[in-house]
Structure 1
């Protein structure tokens, strides 16, 4: 290994036309780059390859266009983005897991790797520190390794070391690592974080990125248990969860007991936390991002974002039209890995709109020039501040309805009209999905009934097939008690009408059991508004195996509360006389029997005016409740 010089003799290390790699993320060797620029002499046309670099990115400035030609494998930073847009730099799309093979197979042979490492320890080993990712393969396959020894670089555990004998030249310069502070949260980002957290079961293993949404998700995981981490990157958000024991990696099925990552990015607090921390291990990208390895984690939950998603589920995340914005990175690696994982969940989470609410991120068709990064087959969930769209196993028509449901309300009618042009939604589907704001900010309520967890939420157009399945699950006796006759068919057209509800006027709620992408309706309650009398008529039906467990009672409580908020004067019901259980539900809720013209039917009524200012008790938006009747 060469002695430490004040500056390097770059004419002996590089030649014009060479290709060099620059260290990634928070490990950019700025002192090395400054030294190269200052002592380049006759060097020119050096191709620079790198992924995201948290730096001033000086090498991409037009001033140095004769010295450097930049080829970014992941665009990060405005300078690089602008240079790519102006044609002064190139962008090469590739999966993060496959970048190492570009180096090892000489598709992009490296003449030198410029990296930042910790000084050698007593055994002669330097740590790659906070950025192992593709730096590991770069130092392995480059003809020369040129290092900046930085005493401020954390020493991280895992496959994060290079021996000093492998380093051809170095300088030692202290350099504070760039910090990315925790983001400020707006309400819609908080909501997205809350929805995503509801998809994460105890014992899951997480992949998390950087930015507002991942940090918001982590904020809502404080009451979870036994979470694990297998992620291409980690941020400050994991620290408190690890210290509290929420993230303990105890149920991981791959590298149990360890948080596994390839790089970290955040504040000094994070860099100090990973320094010599045996509970966090850093591995190369080809290992961490390998879909096969990702899939070795059961219950792998992957959270990525997007620029736009079309109504078939195609994800655009590296470009805005013809303008390249970022890169493929690890999104496909982790989406594919989670798809193959037992109980895995690939999630795309994003705000519903862009440009101050003027543009929908959920679109009928992707913008001209945009490229699909993640295919419609890889995404199981799309989450916005308006809810969770479940796509796995859904037809194009069902996907469109699910995605319209989580689009911003002002774009839903337009999206439905656009998608109808392609015959994905039949003519009998007339309404777009609607919220029930009285259910609270989250738009659903989590229930514990008989030890099981259920969701109470509005019925929506995407439930058409599920409602059909619910209807055909009923016995003749249930159908007779609900409809007062024995209907024999629930056509798609009829089911569509029943799930296409103007929830601002009428009300249709359901209790569902959802396990991953498997959803089953357990109970439905609805009322129809009679505008002439400002009253409503209410009815219920419950799946047989859950009858007598209190689902009708919960739905009735909720509908009474909502009707009272809407200043409905009275609620009425017509129940067959032999339906003792349902009569009991109504009468316990305060309904009074009225004189009925039918001997086999009981007419009941509840006056709601007394509740207009003091609402009946109903489950809160996020509380769980255990009902057994």
Structure 2
């Protein structure tokens, strides 16, 4: 069957001066069609070109066309568009991606024409919007006329991506490569962020992510997960490898099970070939994909978005650098809201802790003057940097500030604490800022599985103040007596603050926690105090009663011994009540020897940590035996 194509565009019959014209964006910009418009629009003026992110040479925004065209973009991208906005020749309209199409349908931004790129029609006359369904489908449905560039290089994608040739008013045929981007190499910062984000993702989760180093790193570390799904406004090349790994099955999705759901893709020719005629990937309009209530239909919805800066209350700036608008709202709020409503959902904001060669902190006391909040402090659950995971949901302003200072770059932590103390967000007795344990390496969080349950071992930090209080009050009188050698009645806020505010460069305090969403419970604490006068340290630990006998104390002690050895500490000592036989047994199991004591109610134990000390101790034991 031969399908007759519409005539070439006669622009004088399709639009006029002052018209509002939609231009298809992302990787599907119809450049040959735009060139045809530019060539035949010399008599026009004040045509408003509306679009979202547009890859490639956005030539219509050049200074030479300022009388002919005015850009109104929903997302700032590209040198010419950015310059036009900076010079006041173009406009940026902030709007949620889920609501962009409603601007066309409700008459807020009525469209005279829509310029889109489509695949050649099939035998029944259906063309596909291919890699850019997003708001293009909505524009096609609402515009008075539709002008298409029929491009043989446009993939045919499944889902709601098709328009019939009869819906197209005019067209040109132009064989033109799609706009491509190359993923930047994953650097060490993105690598660490990706590892932390991956720790938050459970098997069976459904994912949303963008393009860039951090999403690429995250997907790399998810390749050993099981039964993941994808419901994401966009796809990039990163999905190909994780699909090949078998981690993406979509079988556990509770909305569109068995299918990857998206609205557009940006990447290389490899990606465009991957989505071509792929029945497992379905493209839908952004009004559907980004609708928060639809997103929330996926249980365990995990959304990963970025930010330019985050203040210490959790406000997220994502579209502006001070007074300079940088990008757009996009789908961040849509997916943060959807994941917040999802059963077991986790909205995550992931960003490097610094910018401009570590000269600027992205974790700030207050947002930069002129900058705008995209995601409010009430929406944020997790902030992730290369220094860890800050869990904010349900946290007070004081707790949020301490959590965020912990994941800031170490060289900015003291200043951040000083700034928030001015506003009484943290109490006067909060003197120390969080420090890392260098011996744990780049990743300060270690996932451990004990009798089938998942826990995490990490440094104790100032944000754990309330959690340590809860841990203390969970103990029985017997546990407190065995640990402290008396029966303490109270763990005041100030006392708890002192115990969690540890200079980890000198002393060490570790904890084992269970994290279920934003709920964090301490189950064991182990620490050593450094004694400078003889280069020794004193170790102690305590375990929640329900976890005793499961090896938590042994794991903590093993790690403490490793850290002490790496610090070249000569020996580790411990003091236990004589009737605390389980604790004594743990120390002895790790090689500690009992020392002579005048007090029969107390047992002192010691472990030489360096080889020469161990040899000397052995020799002394032999001499005593003789």
Give me the TM-score of the superposition, normalised by structure 2: 0.97
Q: Hey, what does 2:276 align to over in structure 1?
A: 275
Residue in 1 that maps onto 2:619: none
- Corresponding residue number in structure 1 for 2:136: 135
> Quick check: 1:302–1:346 contact (8 Å CA) kept in 2?
yes
Partner of residue 437, structure 2: 436
Specify the alignment match of 2:107 in structure 1: 106
Contact 1:19 1:46 in 2 (8 A): yes
CA distance in 1, matches of 2:612, 2:524: 25
Whole-Å Cα distance in 2 between the matches of residues 81 and 347 of structure 1? 28
Distance in 2 (CA, whole Å) between partners of 1:221 and 1:207 is 13
User: Within 5 Å, which residues of 2 pair with 1:257-336?
Assistant: 257-336=258-337
Map Cα deviations across residues 36-83 of structure 1 (whole Å, 9 max, x no partner).
Answer: 111113111100000000120010000111110110111111221121
Aligned position for 1:182: 183
Figure out how many residues of one structure are paired with residues of the other and give that number: 613
User: 1:96: Cα distance to partner?
Assistant: 0.5
Residue 384 of structure 2 is matched in structure 1 by 383
Distance 1:444 1:415, change over 3 A: same
1:494-573 matches, cutoff 5 A = 494-573=495-574
Which residues of 2 match residues 388-427 of structure 1 at below 5 A?
A: 388-427=389-428
| Alpha-carbon distance, 1:405 to partner | 0.3
Structure 1 Cα separation of the partners of residues 377 and 575 of structure 2? 46
Counterpart for residue 93 of structure 2 = 92
Match of 2:490 in 1: 489
Rounded Cα–Cα distance in structure 2 between residues aligned with 1:126 and 1:444: 50
Instruction: Determine the structure 2 residue equivalent to 1:49.
Output: 50
How far apart are the structure 1 equivalents of 2:289 and 2:588? 59
Residues 589 and 137 from structure 1, CA distance in 2 versus in 1: closer, same or farther, beyond 3 angstroms?
Answer: same
The alpha-carbon deviation at position 612 of structure 1 amounts to: 9.1
Residue equivalent to 2:196: 195
The answer as to whether partners of 1:4 and 1:172 remain within 8 angstroms in 2 is no
Hey, what does 1:446 align to over in structure 2? 447
Structure 2: gaps (5+ residues): 616-626
2:618 is matched with: none
Q: CA deviation at 1:452?
A: 1.1
Query: Matched residue of 2:562: which SS?
Result: helix
Match of 2:31 in 1: 30
Q: Distance in 1 between matches of 2:371 and 2:558?
A: 48
- Superposed displacement of residue 127, structure 1: 0.3
Q: Which residue of 1 aligns with 2:623?
A: none
Q: Match of 2:67? A: 66
- 1:153 — aligned with what? 154
**Contact between 2:45 and 2:67, CA under 8 Å: does it hold in 1?**
yes
Measure the CA separation in 2 of the matches of 1:307 and 1:78: 19
Q: Is the 8 A contact 1:527 1:537 kept in 2?
A: yes
Give the drift of 1:2: 8.4
CA shift for structure 1 position 182: 2.0
Deviation at 1:178, TM superposition (A): 1.1
For 1:532, what is the secondary structure of its paired residue? helix
TM-score, normalised with respect to structure 1: 0.96
CA distance in 2, matches of 1:502, 1:41: 70
Structure 2 Cα separation of the partners of residues 285 and 173 of structure 1: 26
1:244 Cα shift? Answer: 3.0
User: Is the contact made by 1:565 and 1:612 (CA closer than 8 Å) also made in structure 2?
Assistant: no
Asked if residue 608 in structure 1 is aligned to residue 609 in structure 2, the reply is: yes
The aligned counterpart of 1:237 is: 238
State the shift of 1:613 in Å: 12
Whole-Å separation in 2 of the counterparts to 1:78 and 1:363: 28
Unaligned runs of 5+ in 1: 615-629
How far did residue 273 of structure 1 move? 0.6
| Aligned 8 A contact 1:564 1:611 in 2 | no
- Counterpart of 1:519 in 2: which secondary structure? strand
Work out whether residues 6 and 168 of structure 2, in 8 Å CA contact, stay in contact via their aligned partners in 1: no
> CA 1:581/1:331 → structure 2, altered by over 3 Å: closer, same or farther?
same
Q: Distance in 2 between matches of 1:85 and 1:612?
A: 68
Distance 1:83 1:428 in 2: 51
Match of residue 619 from structure 1 = none
* Deviation for aligned residue 1:282: 0.2
Runs of 4+ more than 3 Å apart: 1-5, 611-614
- State whether residues 128 and 157 of structure 2, in contact with CA within 8 Å, keep that contact through their aligned partners in structure 1: yes
Q: Which residue of 1 aligns with 2:254?
A: 253
State how far apart, in whole Å, the 2-side matches of 1:306 and 1:392 are. 18
Q: CA distance change for structure 1 residues 201 and 180 in 2, over 3 Å: closer, same or farther?
A: same
Q: 2: distance between equivalents of 1:93 and 1:611?
A: 67
